[in-house]
Structure 1
Amino acid sequence: MTVVNTNPQRPPMHIGSIIRIVLLFVAAIFFFSLYVAFQLDKKRIPVYQAMIKDSTITTALLDPMYKQTILKKKGVVKSTDYEISYSYKIGDATYHEKKTVKEEPQTVTMPLYYSKSDPAVHTFNPQADIDNIEKDAASKGPIVVGCILVAVAAWYIRKYLKRRAEDIEEMETGYRPLRYE
């Protein structure tokens, strides 16, 4: 990258380096927040366990029309998802929801677990949800990737500051030190 210094009183900014550092920190924040979200999901486990223990089950009425999404990679089907709409009734209240599921609906009714304390909290398979939450919460991948990105950003900051110091020295002395990159 060619850097043009239009103001002889100030060294060039090396904007590409600054952008690279900012993008690394943004990506690191994303991975740290993903890890935190996985940890916060663990608070839902007792609710799902209570659904199983209390056997709070109702019947969901599925809309017979649903959306099928097929993910293909190089012409090979990798996964198929189904976006279903359904409604269920608890007492006098009727709830209408949408959910994406992996298996094609075979009937127009399905058993649905719900929370006694808040019937709007529901799931078709609480044990599978518990297993997925525990698996995600046990994963250290997002925190490791976030730490690696912060380390790379720190290395770029160090490199940027060293280059900036060389630019200042060149402005003051008129001599450019050799760079070994």
Structure 2
Amino acid sequence: MEHLAERLVVDGPLNFITYALLGLANLLSLKPRDYLLGIALAAAIFVGFGTILGAWSTPLALRAAEMDSSDLWLLGAESAVLGLFFALREKFIGARFAGAGILFTVFALICPICGSVFDVAFGEGFLIAQLGRPCFYAGLFGISVSIFALLWRSASVAFQKLAKDDILAV
């Protein structure tokens, strides 16, 4: 039997828009228990990454420089997205994208030579004069990859619920 969910998945930008909207709708319809789990996971991720990345004074910090407010916002946003991502409790869907998002964000927050790499690639001072700190943009890219993974996982969970309830059978 053909399901409407299978017919909705088409190639091109409509596929992405359909998945994103369905994923967002599924996130908005989560139970309070799932939101509390996401908040608890986000807090644990923030404390864990904050300790390792040197958000506060600790001997476990891998970062030599102090974090500024934009770094804390990046860390908080990544923690919130990952908390919701893991609260959905679906195996392996979007895990590679979430891992890539974590790597980009952590690279942006921890790497002491990140700015030097961008300076060599684009010319010293050019990027900083035009855009500000390049590591901040690498962190934003990491968060956007993690948001993509969250919406993908959420949409997959929604499709599974709809197919299980046989709502989409035609």
Fold conserved (TM > 0.5)?
Answer: no
Which gives a bigger RCO, structure 1 or 2 (Cα 8 Å, sep 6+)?
Answer: 2
Compute the TM-score of the two structures, normalised by the length of structure 1: 0.31
Greater per-residue helix proportion: 2
Task: Name whichever structure is richer in strand by fraction.
Answer: 1
TM-score of the two chains, using structure 2 as the length reference = 0.32
Larger Rg: 1
